[in-house]
A and B are shown apart, each in its own frame.
Chain A
Amino acid sequence: MEYGLFTSIIHAIVIASTPLVFAGLGALIQERAGVLNLGIEGLMIVGALAGFASALAGYPLIVSVFVAAFAGSALASIFALLVLRLYANPVATGLALTLFGLGLSALAGSQYVGQAAPQVAEWIIPGLNHIPVIGRAFFSHDPLVYLSIVMAGTMWWFLTKSRAGLILRAVGENHSSAHSLGFSVIGIRFLAILTGGALAGIGGAYLTLVQTPLFVEGMTAGRGWIALALVVFASWRPFRVIAGAYLFGGVSIVQLHGQALGISIAAQWLSMLPYLVTICALVIIASRVKGENSAPGSLGITFKESK
């Protein structure tokens, strides 16, 4: 089947954006609980490698996704232990986690370089996929694309409609108050970090399972950092993470096509475009007044139980 250029661009944007949606949601749930985890990049690449290894070993997609999620959680639990229990500085620990994850995946992944994972089948949504243009662009994708959207919806529901989500937000907003009301700040943050690690792991696995079914050292290429910026851009809201991820994915795909069409701007400028957009977005957000769109009050502050 032949598709128009527009349709293929949209299709490519969805694929480019999906890892950012997962990773962004993974950062969001942690930040809403007051945990600033700068190790998203490290969690993503470890997830990418774990998922890829599982797919190469012949396991079905669903198993590989679980393996990636587990790998992300496992690495994140080290972060949780250091930051929540041993009161390590979260910024330094997060940076260390990124570097550790990149190094670990390079070491363990060297044997996989050059191999290709099996193609993931698309789940075509019957009926909707026949709609001209958008049918192909939005409704004939691999299952993980749909999962990312469902995840955002679930997270929105959890944060705004459930008591557990309310407690999680309370912990992120003011951990001392939450503690004095009898909530387990450490326990809730621990769960948030594990969940965030799993989502970042899946985001990484999307790269090796679907986007480019290969493993290359350092292939996350800064997506973990973009995900962190996305959360701020999205004012800590799940659906806005999707919007931000698609905006970012869109800019990066458009610049690729722009290069292909021979637009006479230096390719380096176009490559910089997505990052420039992110910086502009962050500046605009920073200039807004404090209010409901601002960061959780206890974000990145170490909680120590007073005796």
Chain B
Amino acid sequence: MTESVAIAERLSASSKQCLGVRGLSKYFGDFAANRDVTLSVDAGEIHALLGENGAGKSTLVKMIYGILKPDSGSMELLTNPYSPDSPSDAKHSGVGMVFQHFAVFDALTVLENIALGLEGRFPDETLAAEIAEVCERYRLHVELNRRVHDLGAGERQRVEIIRVLMQDPRLLILDEPTSVLTPQETEQLFTTLDRLSDEGRSIIYISHKLDEVRALCDRATLMRAGQVVDVVDPRQESTRSLGEKMIGERLNETKRSKASNAEKQKARLTVRVGDVYPESTRNVVLNDVYLSVAPGSILGISGVSGNGQDTLFDVLSGELTLPNPDSMVLDGEPIAHLGVEQRRLRGLLGAPENRLGHAAIPELTLWENVILTARHTRGILKNEHLISGTSAKAFADEVISTFDVRTQSVNAKASSLSGGNLQKFLIGRELLGQPKVFIVSNPTWGVDAKAQLFIHQMIMKMADEGASVILISQDIDELLSVTDRICAICHGKLSRTFPTDEMTPEHLGALMLGQEIDS
């Protein structure tokens, strides 16, 4: 501990404030990504940066880390003026950053990976000894001679963190560090972060997980639409009050009208499965899932990312088939053993979370992407082997005009569309196929507010036309405003289902954290 005290003394010698940001603005064309942002981070403080996707958190930290240059405003690091020209500039000044996407090399060992991140260092005994010391101090466990290829996400992140810590940073920026971690790994990370803050190092912690921020952070700066809206002590706030400040005034969302008799109808799709082991060990095992959904009704499944949503989606859509056909029953027909194609022919359609690469092929044009899922409608498939390009283009055109997709033509590549427009196109593609059951995962992730509203309306319209919709989402507001019934998934188990009208954010939060699930 004396060592820790010594470090703390050395670090706090200069001042109480570590980073000061004043009036920082950054424009991309006319769009203000950051407007007059002010931020103050004390030495030894864990400071949360809270905000929705697109609120400007990433832009702000990119300026602090020297990736972007601010258009106006000033920064101060340890009372010195600070304006980094590049990440390596920032590193030299004592600022380190752990990105969401790890810059690691699969075929190289942990030791080699760390050496590559440090200027002029070579993976030898000396470096290994220094790393061992740092690992010991911050309780980070890694085996230096293992290849990164064999490591899980948590261990990969540790490689990145060690890389940054080896540079003895004063300020550490973590961008959504827990999005890929298991709960145990998250706990380990928090131990390390507490240790770092005890030494007087400051941490900027970007997240949108409110409960984590409340558990870990000393202060929180809330951002919305590129501006700072409040600075609060997260421990004095409820998850709800934080959420409201973060989201601000609500858009005039057309609240789901009470689906009058939908609830009374017989279930169209019933799912009753025991344990499901996914193919990849990274995905969570499902455990005794039971759900049912009636025609014209929207069922919401909430949950913190990485709690089995991926496996559940695969099971529902047919990407993962089950040996017992009766595990899933659609309109009285057992379908659990059928693959995606057979389920599509029976009217069960899905739109996965990953838009580019899973729902659409980035390099193919929009009309070609139509063929991927909608080929059994509108004569796109002439017979078993031939495709009608004309029909596919006509279909794509219809999707574009009906759902206000902003694109040049049906010949545009899927990758050229913005997230919101592509999502509108992809959901429209399924909607025109008039699904009986529609399964959609995180449809508005990374989508701007206007497109979000539109997508919600599309989903509700689909239900109004008689489809059964299952909406898997991490966005609590989305679930509360769009769905009829709601449940939560945690560690691969589903909670009871509640009518959305009776659900509060607090209750839903508790369900997402696994409370009540076992009782």
Instruction: Using CB atoms and an 8 Å cutoff, list the residues of chain A in contact with chain B.
Output: 162-163, 166-167, 169-170, 173-174, 176-178, 180-182, 290-292, 294, 296-297
Contacts and interface: CB of A to CB of B under 8 A. Distances in A.
B103 A177 contact: yes
A297 B148 CA distance: 13
Given A163-B120, A173-B105, A292-B107, 14 more contacts: A162-B122, A163-B115, A163-B122, A166-B115, A166-B116, A166-B122, A166-B123, A167-B116, A174-B106, A177-B102, A177-B105, A181-B116, A182-B87, A290-B149
A177 B108 CA distance: 12
Contacts of A169: 105, 107-108
B112 A296 contact: no
A177 B116 CA distance: 10
Contact of B107 (A176, A178, A180, A296): A296
A178 B107 CA distance: 13
A7 to B, nearest CB: 42
Given A166-B112, A181-B116, A182-B87, A297 B147 contact: no
Contact of A291 (B86, B112, B116, B149): B149
B480 to A, nearest CB: 37
B108 A170 contact: yes
Contacts of A170: 105, 108, 112, 116
Contacts of B108: 166, 169-170, 173
Contact of A174 (B86, B87, B105): B105
Tell which of A167, A180, A296 has the most Cβ of chain B within 10 Å: A180
B104 interface: yes
Interface in B70-129: 86-88, 99, 102-108, 112, 115-117, 120-123
A178 B117 CA distance: 9
Contacts of A167: 116
A185 to B, nearest CB: 12
A26 B112 CA distance: 24
A207 B150 CA distance: 44
A284 B155 CA distance: 32
Nearest to B122: A163
B318 to A, nearest CB: 28
B117 A181 contact: yes
A301 to B, nearest CB: 14
Interface of B: 86-88, 99, 102-108, 112, 115-117, 120-123, 147, 149
A297 B149 CA distance: 11
Contacts of B87: 182
19 contacts: A162-B122, A166-B115, A166-B123, A169-B105, A169-B107, A170-B108, A173-B106, A173-B107, A176-B103, A177-B103, A177-B104, A178-B103, A181-B116, A291-B149, A292-B147, A294-B107, A296-B107, A297-B105, A297-B107
B467 to A, nearest CB: 39
Contacts of B147: 291-292
Contacts of A290: 149
Given A182-B87, A292-B147, A297 B106 contact: yes
A180 B106 CA distance: 15
Contacts of B149: 290-291
B351 to A, nearest CB: 27
A163 B107 contact: no
A296 B116 CA distance: 17
Binding site secondary structure of chain B: loop
Nearest to A294: B107
B481 to A, nearest CB: 36
Nearest to A293: B107
A163 B121 contact: yes
A182 B85 CA distance: 13
A21 B105 CA distance: 28
A181 B103 contact: yes
Contacts of B120: 163
Top 5 A-B pairs ranked by shortest CB distance? A177-B103, A173-B105, A180-B103, A173-B107, A174-B105
Contacts of A163: 115, 120-122
B375 to A, nearest CB: 30
A162 B120 CA distance: 11
Q: A176, A181, A182 — which one has the most chain B CB atoms within 10 A of its CB?
A: A181
Contacts of B121: 163
Nearest to B67: A180
A180 B442 CA distance: 29
A167 B102 CA distance: 17
A182 B118 CA distance: 11
A182 B122 CA distance: 16
A180 B42 CA distance: 28
B71 to A, nearest CB: 17
Contacts of B88: 182
A303 to B, nearest CB: 14
A160 to B, nearest CB: 10
A180 B116 CA distance: 11
B137 to A, nearest CB: 24
A294 B108 CA distance: 12
Contacts of A292: 107, 147
A292 B107 CA distance: 6
Contacts of A178: 103, 105, 116
A181 B96 CA distance: 12
B314 to A, nearest CB: 23
A292 B122 CA distance: 20
Contacts of B99: 180
B175 to A, nearest CB: 13
Contacts of B105: 169-170, 173-174, 177-178, 297
Contacts of B122: 162-163, 166
Output the residue of B86, B106, B107, B108 with the most chain A CB within 10 A. B107
B98 to A, nearest CB: 12
A182 B88 CA distance: 8
A109 to B, nearest CB: 41
A180 B105 CA distance: 12
A84 B264 CA distance: 64
A12 B102 CA distance: 51
A269 B117 CA distance: 53
B124 to A, nearest CB: 10
A304 to B, nearest CB: 13
Nearest to B105: A173
Task: Give the residue among A167, A170, A297 with the most B Cβ atoms within 10 A.
Answer: A170
A276 B147 CA distance: 34
A177 B115 CA distance: 14
Contacts of B106: 173-174, 297
A282 to B, nearest CB: 20
